[in-house]
Amino acid sequence: MRLHTRLAALTVACFLGISGTASAKAHHKPAHTAKAPSNPDYKFIKAAYDYRSYGFVTRDCNRIYSYTTPDYVDTDLQGKQYDKTGCLKEAYAAFTVLDRRESEIEADFKSRGGQEISNLLVHKVTINSFTLKGNTAVVMETQSLHSNMHGVTADGKDHAESLKLANNVYRDVWVRSTQGWLQQSGTQIK
């Protein structure tokens, strides 16, 4: 959803767009960690992450950012912030860079007699913790993103190449709205 530090391997900003910035307000009552996955709020947010992950597979930038608020903000490790529009622009640019790199790998493979090339972009979100306080949820999550290419070499053997694009940790803030849960911000932690 962005190719800044989340796709450090390609060094373009805002590719994953699943995180941003937020500051938590002090609450009089302690927040509780919702028991996942039985909590319906957890299930909704997990489904939104899964929906977004499919956006990576199909390279659909609008799908990737569909569960974000209009004022969505993403912050990278260096503290640089991107609004939703900036993240979308960077996502398009990142997919262009990725497509070019995959084409280079495919051309090289075919120049050596390889055939039957297939590409698959794999995006996975693992929810590490889920804390719910009223209409706000804070999610600590790990994202991994890989581009996997498979083919058959000139001598008929299977061959695979993988580009590891990201494996990072984020703190995401979600808010309950009339449309359901939407991600308001996120911050890359690692």
CB proximity list for 54: less than 8 A, separation 6 or greater: 60, 63
Domain assignment present for 151:
yes
Any idea what the CATH number is for the domain that residue 15 is in?
3.10.450.50
Q: Is the pTM of this model over 0.85?
A: no
Tokens of 64: 């990737």
Domain assignment present for 26:
no
For residue 133, the one-letter residue type is: K
Tokens of 84: 């939703």
C-alpha torsion angle, residues 127, 132, 137, 140 (rounded to 10): -30
Model confidence pLDDT, tens digit, residues 9-62: 332 223 333 332 222 222 333 344 445 568 899 999 999 999 999 998 899 999
Tally of domains within the chain: 1
CB proximity list for 64: less than 8 A, separation 6 or greater: 1, 16, 17, 18, 52, 55, 56, 91
Tokens of 164: 């590891």
Q: Are strands 180-188 and 68-75 parallel, antiparallel or unpaired?
A: parallel
Range of the domain at 135: 5-21+31-188
Model confidence pLDDT, tens digit, residues 179-190: 999 999 999 999
CA 129 – CA 147 distance, rounded (Å): 27
